[in-house]
């Protein structure tokens, strides 16, 4: 087993870290997230120039042919500075679905422009009356001549108002199929809004909206959606680890500099012990996130192994994110609750990540269903 | 990044697994698995089997029986021992005084003690804690005063684990009461437990067992040659030794075994007309514990792969802290699975229908409160993390 990154991966990390740290400090982030689309188009374009937006896609599809490890590095750096660019939402999740399900023609048509930063693709999947399911029910697809139309509501759709292309899950024949809808399609209404973590989401309404079937045939795509969500979950785990790391270092610095009763807060064991516990949480979740990434990248990993690894990552991320996020605010005191200071935004983003694709209790339920009476889940040999 | 063990490490793991499950008597492994007390004779028998095969002290210098294993191989060795329910080489010998003598002892001391220490021909016990020196070990008061060719030791030690079996004790003594810092006036002496003036009082623990003792010293005469290393440098050796004590303290393999047992027990106990293992809240609790244990194991592997030549990595405090908590969680889980059966804790075989695992569950749970206290209490570990890692 090897948890370390190679030289090329380190170079990628350095480059992405440099770009994002120049782009964002808490002030700049506040300014960027105050106005639509909730991220910086210039930074998005620079990420594209660097090849980051095409990292996980095959070279023949216009990507870089990199693995989940590279995705993890980028996500971690995004989390560290809370960059609001929708890397996981667009590249990992929506792009990942297109890469897994799309025809060769669709992959070239959609992933190339996504990688170049020319087209923002997002996955419109969540529905207002359900949570964390891999199938669709509120949006239905109907055949119309040679094509398809969609009807129903998707919400919340991350960056749904800004997106150029929507990958949409819809119920068809008792299963779930995936469709591509362009921003300019008829019968498409999008109401965008700001979310608590500074990003954007939208209600997307389809009313007989023309749509292109993603991939060949209308076979049920629920399993593909499950796997794409699992991969995005692991990427989010790394984004969360990055955010938790900064939340902890910010908190530690504050404890050293803030004085009360004539001494730095770091003189109070009641506070330093809690910071130590935050460190324990951080290192444990970092280990699981790295391991889950290795499971995703390992050639022989079964879909079941990938889903289980993602659920473990999701559970640990949820626990650690809640622990570190809440303690970071508490150890700061009142300033931690203000929008003017950085640390609370980390808690806000961690809370968003926790609820985008399934929280810890939800993951626990899935893991509980799969308990094997005979063994403790062994590490792969 | 690489998920799998290398073929060499896989082969190493298979070799260890085969050895531990075929060369160590099944009856002893059964006793360990059933949480029965391991006798002195069993400890000695197993350590001598291991030592014969070069598996008792692999982390020692090669000259004294060590192997040039990688940190990962040492980790695998220990994990496989725990998974196979093999009593580990006696920590006082293999992890504590052995490495100290190998590093700081004279050539004569090495020749005199190390082979017998590796083979458990000498059973060592630890004379560190005192009634007024627990986490604040450096405030210890047991005094050694030079008198001619001897040191004369007076004072008291406590929490001396398995001291009732011990042939020798390694003992921190204050040799310079006037030292500027209390850490600077301490020396490490070794002497036989049957030296005149040494008395031992066993301390009964909550589980009804006797594993720790008080040891009293009254004018105990120790030859000057039994000083290990330099006079007044004992604190350095103690820190070296305690750093070793934290290696392998996560005990992931042992906790894994407890979780497997817990699931088996929960399959046999019925609750509300169905096996307890089918209860959703029980399943959720087990799923969470398994995930926590996986996170700990992966963290241990990260620490192992980053450790540079035996130096204690501050992240090892995470392993001690979390490892002890998860051992305790596993014992607590088993008590909860046993439910009311756990009350039959002290019943003899003939007087009860309650299975043995349920009878030992609560004594084990109570006994395991110790794991967050010994080896540097978890509060000491938090102090290390806050200070050394976070700079607070």
| Contact present, B247 and B316 (Cβ < 8 Å) | yes
Q: Are residues B67 and B131 in the same domain?
A: no
d(CA B167, CA B199): 13
Least confidently predicted of A339-348, B191-200, B245-254, B263-272: B245-254
Mark yes or no for CB contact A275/B13 under 8 Å: no
**In this predicted model, what pLDDT tens digit does every residue of A130-168 receive, in sequence order?**
999 999 999 999 999 999 999 999 999 999 999 999 999
Q: At what angle do helices A360-369 and A303-332 cross, to 10 degrees?
A: 150
B344 in a domain, yes or no? yes
Question: Which helix (H) or strand (E) is A353 found in, with range?
Answer: helix A343-356
**Closest B-chain CA to A273:** B382
Residues of chain A contacting B305 with CB distance shorter than 8 Å: 1-4
Mark yes or no for CB contact A371/B263 under 8 Å: yes
Q: Are residues B197 and B322 in the same domain?
A: no
**In this predicted model, what pLDDT tens digit does every residue of B88-118 receive, in sequence order?**
999 999 999 999 999 999 999 999 999 999 9
Which of A138, A91, A136, A148 is CA-nearest to residue A114?
A91
The number of helices, as runs of H, and strands, as runs of E, in chain A is: 11, 9
Q: Are residues B271 and B376 in the same domain?
A: yes
Residue ending a domain, choose from B62, B89, B116: B89
CB atoms within 10 A of CB B183: 17
Alpha-carbon dihedral sign for residues B369, B375, B380, B381: negative
Mark yes or no for CB contact B382/A293 under 8 Å: no
**Closest B-chain CA to A369:** B283
B105 in a domain, yes or no? no
pLDDT score of A1: 79
User: Testing the interface with B: which of A277, A282, A287, A379 to mutate, by most B Cβ within 10 A?
Assistant: A287
Residues of chain A contacting B277 with CB distance shorter than 8 Å: 371, 373
Q: Are residues B255 and B369 in the same domain?
A: yes
Residue B391 DSSP label: -
**In this predicted model, what pLDDT tens digit does every residue of A264-285 receive, in sequence order?**
999 999 999 999 999 999 999 9
Residue ending a domain, choose from B40, B71, B89: B89
Beta pairing class for A165-172 and A121-124: parallel
For residues A195, A201, A202, A204, the Cα torsion angle rounded to the nearest 10 degrees is -150
**In this predicted model, what pLDDT tens digit does every residue of A66-117 receive, in sequence order?**
999 999 999 999 999 999 999 999 999 999 999 999 999 999 999 999 999 9
- Report helix, strand or coil for A145: coil
Which of B201, B174, B168, B208 is CA-nearest to residue B188?
B174
Mark yes or no for CB contact B298/A287 under 8 Å: yes
Residues of chain B contacting A306 with CB distance shorter than 8 Å: none
CB atoms within 10 A of CB B83: 20
Cross-strand pairs, A140: A151, A171
Q: What CATH number has the domain bearing residue B168? A: 2.40.110.10
Q: At what angle do helices B40-52 and B26-33 cross, to 10 degrees?
A: 120
Cross-strand pairs, A209: A150
Beta pairing class for A263-264 and A259-260: antiparallel
Mark yes or no for CB contact A283/B284 under 8 Å: no
Tokens linked to B192: 């036989």
d(CA B247, CA B75): 9
| Contact present, A88 and A349 (Cβ < 8 Å) | no
Which of A247, A294, A276 is CA-nearest to residue A9?
A294
Residue A68's Cβ-count burial label (10 Å; 0-12, 13-18, 19+) is: buried
**Closest B-chain CA to A267:** B392
**In this predicted model, what pLDDT tens digit does every residue of B238-289 receive, in sequence order?**
988 877 666 677 899 999 999 999 999 999 999 999 999 999 999 999 999 9
Tokens linked to B369: 């409160």
**In this predicted model, what pLDDT tens digit does every residue of B209-224 receive, in sequence order?**
999 999 999 999 999 9
Q: What CATH number has the domain bearing residue B383? A: 1.20.140.10
User: Testing the interface with A: which of B7, B16, B79, B295 to mutate, by most A Cβ within 10 A?
Assistant: B295
Range of the domain at B354: 248-389
pLDDT score of A373: 62
| Contact present, A188 and A204 (Cβ < 8 Å) | yes
d(CA B179, CA A294): 54
Residues of chain A contacting B297 with CB distance shorter than 8 Å: 379
B308 in a domain, yes or no? yes
**Closest B-chain CA to A365:** B284
DSSP characters for B112-168? HHHHHHHTTSS-EEEE--BTTBSS-GGG---EEEEETTEEEEEEEE---TTGGG-SE
- Provide the shortest C-alpha distance from residue B254 to chain A (in Å): 12
Q: Are residues B161 and B69 in the same domain?
A: no
Question: Which helix (H) or strand (E) is B79 found in, with range?
Answer: helix B71-83
pLDDT score of A374: 58
Confidence of residue B375 (pLDDT cuts 50, 70, 90): confident
Mark yes or no for CB contact A1/B297 under 8 Å: no
d(CA B378, CA B371): 9
Mark yes or no for CB contact A367/B280 under 8 Å: no
Nearest CB partner across the interface for A364, out of B13, B284, B381 = B284
User: Testing the interface with A: which of B10, B258, B302, B386 to mutate, by most A Cβ within 10 A?
Assistant: B386
pLDDT score of A381: 41
What are the helix (H) ranges across chain A? Answer: 7-23, 26-34, 41-49, 68-81, 95-101, 104-116, 222-257, 269-297, 303-332, 343-356, 360-369
Instruction: For chain A, list the domains and their CATH numbers.
Output: 7-119 (1.10.540.10), 122-213 (2.40.110.10), 222-369 (1.20.140.10)
Q: Which residues of B are catalytic?
A: 245
d(CA B167, CA A182): 82
Task: Tell me the average pLDDT of chain B.
Answer: 94
Cross-strand pairs, A130: none
Q: How far is CA A92 from the centre of its chain?
A: 7
Tokens linked to B162: 């398995």
Asked, as a colleague might, if the bond just before A156 is cis with ω within 30 of 0, I would say yes
Mark yes or no for CB contact A371/B290 under 8 Å: yes
d(CA A303, CA A311): 12
| Contact present, B13 and B76 (Cβ < 8 Å) | yes
Q: Are residues B139 and B262 in the same domain?
A: no
Mark yes or no for CB contact B4/A380 under 8 Å: yes
Question: Which helix (H) or strand (E) is B223 found in, with range?
Answer: strand B210-223
> In angstroms, how far is the first alpha carbon of chain B from the final one?
32
**Closest B-chain CA to A374:** B260
d(CA B162, CA B91): 11
Which of B240, B263, B232, B250 is CA-nearest to residue B322?
B250
Q: Give percent of chain A above pLDDT 90.
A: 94
Q: Are residues B256 and B368 in the same domain?
A: yes
Nearest CB partner across the interface for A1, out of B5, B259, B383 = B5
Q: Are residues B84 and B132 in the same domain?
A: no
B52 in a domain, yes or no? yes
Which of A82, A101, A70 is CA-nearest to residue A293?
A70
Question: Is it the case that residue B60 has pLDDT exceeding 60?
Answer: yes
pLDDT score of B311: 56
d(CA A24, CA A17): 10
d(CA A340, CA A345): 9
pLDDT score of A380: 47
B69 in a domain, yes or no? yes
Task: Tell me the average pLDDT of chain A.
Answer: 96
Residue B385 DSSP label: I
Q: Are residues B310 and B350 in the same domain?
A: yes
The number of helices, as runs of H, and strands, as runs of E, in chain B is: 13, 10
- Provide the shortest C-alpha distance from residue A109 to chain B (in Å): 32
Residues of chain B contacting A297 with CB distance shorter than 8 Å: 1, 3
Q: Give percent of chain A above pLDDT 70.
A: 98
d(CA B7, CA A352): 42
Residues of chain B contacting A368 with CB distance shorter than 8 Å: 280, 283-284, 286-287
For residues B381, B386, B389, B391, the Cα torsion angle rounded to the nearest 10 degrees is -150
d(CA A65, CA A99): 11
pLDDT score of B309: 52
**Closest A-chain CA to B316:** A280
Please work out, in degrees rounded to the nearest 5, the angle formed at the alpha carbon of residue A215 by the alpha carbons of A213 and A220: 85
Residues of chain A contacting B302 with CB distance shorter than 8 Å: 3, 283, 287, 290
Residue B275: what are its φ and ψ, rounded to 5°?
Answer: -55, 140
B113 in a domain, yes or no? no
**In this predicted model, what pLDDT tens digit does every residue of A359-374 receive, in sequence order?**
999 999 999 999 876 5
| Contact present, A236 and A75 (Cβ < 8 Å) | yes
DSSP characters for B288-347? HHHHHHHHHHHHHHHHHHH--TTPPPTTHHHHHHHHHHHHHHHHHHHHHHHGGGGG-TT-
DSSP characters for A205-220? EEEEEEEEESSSS---
| Distances, alpha carbon B379 to alpha carbons A127, A165, B249, in Å | 47, 54, 16
Residue with structure tokens 């009807």? A151
Question: Which helix (H) or strand (E) is B215 found in, with range?
Answer: strand B210-223
Q: Are residues B161 and B39 in the same domain?
A: no
Tokens linked to A277: 């516990």
B107 in a domain, yes or no? no
User: Testing the interface with B: which of A5, A67, A276, A290 to mutate, by most B Cβ within 10 A?
Assistant: A276
pLDDT score of B305: 76
Question: Is it the case that residue B73 has pLDDT exceeding 60?
Answer: yes
Nearest CB partner across the interface for B392, out of A5, A255, A377 = A255
Q: Are residues B152 and B205 in the same domain?
A: yes
Residue A278's Cβ-count burial label (10 Å; 0-12, 13-18, 19+) is: buried
Domain tally for chain B?
Answer: 3
Residue ending a domain, choose from B171, B203, B232: B232
* Mean pLDDT, residues B185-203 taken together: 98
Q: Are residues B61 and B157 in the same domain?
A: no
B160 in a domain, yes or no? yes
């Amino acid at each position: 087993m090897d948890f370390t990154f190679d030289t090329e991966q380190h170079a990628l990390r350095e480059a992405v870290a440099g770009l994002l740290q120049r782009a964002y400090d808490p002030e700049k982030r506040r300014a960027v997230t105050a106005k639509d689309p909730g991220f910086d188009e210039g930074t998005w374009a620079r990420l594209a120039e660097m090849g980051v937006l095409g990292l996980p896609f095959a070279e023949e599809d216009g990507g870089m042919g990199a693995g989940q490890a590279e995705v993890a590095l980028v996500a971690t750096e995004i989390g560290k500075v809370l960059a609001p660019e929708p890397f996981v939402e667009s590249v990992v999740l929506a792009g990942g679905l297109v890469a897994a399900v799309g025809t060769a023609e669709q992959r070239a048509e959609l992933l190339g422009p996504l990688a170049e930063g020319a087209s923002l693709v997002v996955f419109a999947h969540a529905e207002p009356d359900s949570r964390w399911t891999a199938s669709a029910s509120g949006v239905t697809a109907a055949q119309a001549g040679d094509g398809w139309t969609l009807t129903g509501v998707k919400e919340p759709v991350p960056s749904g108002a800004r997106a150029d292309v929507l990958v949409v899950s819809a119920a068809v024949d008792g299963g779930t199929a995936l469709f591509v809808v362009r921003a300019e399609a008829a019968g498409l209404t999008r109401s965008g809004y700001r979310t608590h973590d500074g990003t954007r989401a939208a209600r997307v309404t389809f009313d007989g909206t023309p749509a292109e079937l993603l991939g060949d045939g209308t076979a049920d795509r629920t399993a593909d959606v499950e796997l794409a969500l699992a991969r995005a979950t692991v990427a989010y785990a790394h984004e969360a680890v990055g955010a938790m790391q900064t939340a902890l270092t910010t908190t530690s610095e504050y404890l050293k500099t803030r004085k009360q009763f004539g001494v730095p807060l770091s003189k109070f064991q009641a506070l330093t012990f809690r910071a130590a516990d935050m460190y324990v949480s951080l290192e444990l979740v970092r280990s699981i996130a790295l391991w889950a990434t290795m499971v995703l990248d390992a050639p022989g990993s079964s879909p079941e192994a990938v889903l289980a690894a993602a659920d473990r990552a999701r559970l640990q991320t949820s626990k650690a994110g809640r622990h570190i996020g809440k303690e970071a605010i508490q150890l700061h005191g009142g300033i931690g609750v203000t929008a003017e200071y950085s640390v609370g935004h980390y808690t806000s983003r961690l809370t968003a990540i926790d609820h985008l694709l399934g929280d810890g209790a939800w993951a626990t339920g899935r893991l509980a269903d799969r308990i094997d009476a005979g063994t403790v889940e062994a590490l792969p040999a | 990044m690489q998920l799998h063990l290398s073929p060499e490490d896989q082969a190493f793991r298979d070799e260890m697994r085969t050895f531990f499950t075929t060369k160590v008597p099944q009856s002893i492994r059964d006793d360990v698995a059933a949480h029965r007390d391991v006798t002195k004779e069993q400890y000695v028998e197993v350590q001598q089997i291991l030592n014969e095969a070069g598996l008792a002290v692999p982390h020692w210098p090669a000259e004294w029986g060590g192997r040039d294993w990688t940190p990962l191989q040492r980790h695998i060795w220990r994990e496989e021992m725990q998974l196979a329910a093999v009593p580990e080489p006696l920590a006082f010998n293999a992890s504590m005084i052995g490495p100290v003598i190998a590093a700081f002892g004279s050539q004569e001391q090495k020749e005199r003690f190390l082979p017998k220490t590796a083979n458990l021909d000498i059973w060592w016990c630890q004379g560190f804690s005192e009634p007024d020196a627990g986490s604040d070990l450096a405030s210890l008061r047991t005094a050694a005063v030079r008198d001619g060719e001897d040191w004369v030791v007076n004072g008291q030690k406590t929490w001396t684990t398995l001291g009732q079996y011990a042939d020798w004790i390694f003992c921190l003594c204050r040799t310079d009461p006037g030292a500027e810092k209390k850490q600077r006036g301490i020396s490490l002496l070794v002497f036989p437990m049957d030296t005149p003036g040494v008395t031992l009082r066993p301390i009964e623990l909550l589980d009804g067992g006797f594993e720790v003792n008080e040891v009293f010293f009254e004018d105990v005469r120790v030859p000057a040659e039994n000083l290990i290393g330099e006079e007044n440098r004992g604190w350095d050796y103690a820190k070296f030794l305690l750093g070793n004590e934290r290696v392998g303290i996560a005990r992931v393999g042992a906790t894994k075994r407890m979780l497997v047992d817990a699931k088996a027990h929960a399959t046999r106990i019925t609750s509300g007309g169905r096996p307890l293992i089918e209860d959703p809240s029980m399943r959720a609790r087990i799923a969470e514990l398994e995930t926590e244990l996986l996170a700990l194991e992966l963290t241990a592997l990260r620490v192992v792969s980053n450790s540079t030549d035996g130096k204690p990595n501050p992240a090892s405090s995470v392993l001690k802290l979390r490892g002890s908590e998860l051992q305790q969680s596993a014992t607590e889980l088993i008590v909860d699975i046993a439910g009311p059966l756990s009350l039959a804790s002290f019943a003899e075989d003939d007087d009860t229908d309650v299975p043995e695992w349920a009878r030992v569950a609560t004594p084990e749970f109570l006994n395991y409160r110790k794991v967050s206290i010994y080896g540097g209490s978890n509060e000491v570990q938090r102090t290390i993390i806050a200070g050394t890692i976070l700079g607070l």
